[in-house]
Amino acid sequence: MKKKLLALVLAVAVAAAMVLTACGGGSNGGDTPAPAGSGSAAVVPDAGNSNAELTFKLVTTLSKQEFGGQMVEYLKAKVEELSDGKMSINPSYGGTEVGFGEELSFVGTTGAGYDMTLIGQAMYFNVLPLLNFPSQSLKGYEDAVNLMDTIAFKNEKTAPLVQADIEKNNVHMIGSLPGGSNAFITKTKYTSLDEMKGMKLGIGMNQTAMEKLGFNVVTVYPNEYYDKLSRGVADCGYMSATALVSMKLQEVTPYFLTDGTYTAGNFITINLDLWNSLTPEQQKILEDAVAATQEYSYQLAYDADDAIGGEIEAAGGELNKLSEEDAKTVQAVFFETGVADARGYAEGAGCVDEMEVVLQEVANYVGLELPAK
The yes-or-no verdict on residue 121 having pLDDT over 60 is yes
What was the pLDDT predicted at 66? 85
The yes-or-no verdict on residue 7 having pLDDT over 50 is no
How many CB atoms within 10 Å of residue 324?
10
Q: What is the mean pLDDT of residues 92-114?
A: 91
Q: Classify residue 226 as exposed, middle or buried by CB count within 10 Å of its CB (0-12, 13-18, 19+).
A: middle
What was the pLDDT predicted at 40? 55
In tens, the pLDDT along 149-197 reads 999 999 999 999 999 999 999 999 999 999 888 999 999 999 999 999 9
Pairwise pLDDT comparison (44 vs 301), residue with the higher score: 301
Q: What is the mean pLDDT of residues 203-222?
A: 95
Q: What is the mean pLDDT of residues 41-54?
A: 73
The yes-or-no verdict on residue 30 having pLDDT over 50 is no
Instruction: Spell out a b/e string for 278-300, using b for 16 or more CB atoms within 10 Å of the CB, else e.
Output: bbeebbebbeebbebbbebbbeb
Q: Which DSSP helix (H) or strand (E) runs through 261?
A: none
Q: What letter does residue 371 receive in the DSSP assignment?
A: P
Taking a C-beta distance cutoff of 8 angstroms, is the pair 116, 56 a contact? yes
What was the pLDDT predicted at 358? 98
The yes-or-no verdict on residue 22 having pLDDT over 90 is no
Taking a C-beta distance cutoff of 8 angstroms, is the pair 312, 318 a contact? yes
What was the pLDDT predicted at 227? 94
Out of 26-40, 168-182, 201-215, 217-231, pick the least confident. 26-40
The yes-or-no verdict on residue 17 having pLDDT over 50 is no
Give the span between the Cα atoms of 112 and 115, in whole angstroms. 8
**Closest residue by Cα to residue 29 from 98, 105, 100:** 105
What was the pLDDT predicted at 31? 37
Give CA 214 to chain center in angstroms: 27
Sequence-separated (6 or more) residues with CB below 8 Å from residue 186: 196, 199, 235, 236, 253, 255, 257
Give the span between the Cα atoms of 142 and 160, in whole angstroms. 23
What was the pLDDT predicted at 43? 61
Taking a C-beta distance cutoff of 8 angstroms, is the pair 139, 260 a contact? no
Beta-carbon-side half-sphere exposure of residue 138 (alpha carbons within 13 Å): 17
Q: Collect contacts of 122-125 with beta carbons under 8 A, ≥24 apart.
A: 122/1, 122/2, 122/3, 122/4, 122/7, 122/265, 123/3, 123/6, 123/7, 123/10, 123/11, 124/7, 124/11, 124/29, 125/4, 125/7, 125/8, 125/11, 125/341, 125/345
The yes-or-no verdict on residue 35 having pLDDT over 50 is no
Of the pLDDT bands very low, low, confident and very high (cuts 50, 70, 90), residue 21 is: very low
Give the span between the Cα atoms of 259 and 238, in whole angstroms. 9
Q: What is the mean pLDDT of residues 268-279?
A: 96
Of the pLDDT bands very low, low, confident and very high (cuts 50, 70, 90), residue 101 is: confident
The yes-or-no verdict on residue 15 having pLDDT over 80 is no
Q: pTM of the predicted model, to two decimals?
A: 0.86
In tens, the pLDDT along 284-343 reads 999 999 999 999 999 999 998 999 999 999 999 999 999 999 999 999 999 999 999 999
Structural domains of the chain, ranges and CATH numbers in brackets = 4-179+263-307 (3.40.190.170), 182-258 (3.40.190.10)
In tens, the pLDDT along 244-253 reads 998 999 999 9
Q: Which residues pair with 239 in a beta bridge?
A: 183
Beta-carbon-side half-sphere exposure of residue 343 (alpha carbons within 13 Å): 13
The yes-or-no verdict on residue 263 having pLDDT over 90 is yes
Total residues belonging to the chain: 373
In tens, the pLDDT along 49-62 reads 878 899 999 999 88
Q: Is 217 left (phi over 0), alpha (psi -120 to 50) or beta?
A: beta
Give the span between the Cα atoms of 25 and 43, in whole angstroms. 29
Q: Residues 329, 236, 124, 363: what is their CA dihedral angle, to the nearest 10 degrees?
A: 0
Taking a C-beta distance cutoff of 8 angstroms, is the pair 206, 5 a contact? no
